[in-house]
Amino acid sequence: MAEFVRLEVSDGVGTIRLDRPKMNAISVQVQHELRAAAAEATERDDVRAVVVYGGERVFAAGNDVKEMAGLSHAEMVKLSASVSSAVTAVARIPKPVVAAITGYALGGGCELALAADVRIAADDATLGQPEVLLGIIPGAGGTQRLARLVGPSRAKDIIFTGRFVKAEEALAIGLVDRLVPAAEVHDAALAWAAQFSSAAALALRAAKESIDRGLETDLETGLEIERQQFAALFATEDRTRGMTSFVESGPGRATFVGR
C-alpha cells in the first residue's frame, strides 16, 4: 500500500493524490509511488482521464532537498533517472491529464504540473523553478517542458532567476490554462476530466501521442506520426460506432466502448 501517493477512481476519472505533509515534498519514495500510480492509471480501463492533485493547501513544493543535500555526484548519477522518470511516467499516461494546482507548485512540483496536458490553478497559486538558488538546475524536465510550453526566453528568465511566478502571470504566459478560486480548483479539474469519461478512448490516446511525439521532432516526421495514428483508428470499433452514428443521427450521439 502506497504511503504518500494514491490513485482514487470515480466515474471514469482517476485522481493521483499526493499526500505527504506538510508540503508534498517529492522524495525518492514519492517518486516510486508516482510511477506506480501512473502505471495503474494507464492500465485501468475504468480510468478515462486523470487529475493530479496535492490537496487544498499545496500542490507540491519541490523535490526533497533534505534528502538530496548529502548525496555525492556518483549517488545522484544513479538517482537522477528516478527523479526524471517519475514525472515522465505521468506525462506518458495515454489519457487526458489535468493538474489541479493549489498553493505552491515549485521545483519538482512545477515539473510535475508541466507533465499534465492542462493546468487549472488557484488564483492565488505560485509556480516556479527555483533550483538555481540551490546551485543546481531543474532535473525532472523543467528545462525542456517549460521551454516548450512558454517559449525559450520566458523559460530562461524563470529558470535563470529562480523567481516565483504568481497565478496571473502564469496564466498570461501560458504556464497555466485557467484560474479559479482556490476552493474550486479540484472541482474544476474533475469537471474537465469528467468530459472524457465516455469519450473515444483510443482516439484520445492517438491524439495525445501524435501531439506529444510530433513536438519532439520535425514537421514532416510529425505529419507521418499523425497519418499512421489516423489510419490505425479505422481498425477500431469506436470509429465504426462514431461514423455510423454520425451518418444516422448526426454529430455527438455516438456511444463508445474503448475498442
Q: Which residue is listed with cell 496535492? A: 54
Please pick, among 131, 184, 209, 216, the residue that the annotation labels catalytic.
131
Best CA proximity match to 238, nearest among 246, 226, 228, 227: 246
Contact 179, 121 (CB under 8 A): yes
Please pick, among 40, 56, 111, 168, the residue that the annotation labels catalytic.
111
CA distances from 63 to 15, 80, 82, 117, 226 (A): 21, 12, 12, 21, 36
Is 131 labeled as catalytic in the residue annotation?
A: yes
CA distances from 164 to 8, 56, 167, 226 (A): 31, 20, 10, 37
User: Which sequence positions are flagged as catalytic?
Assistant: 111, 131
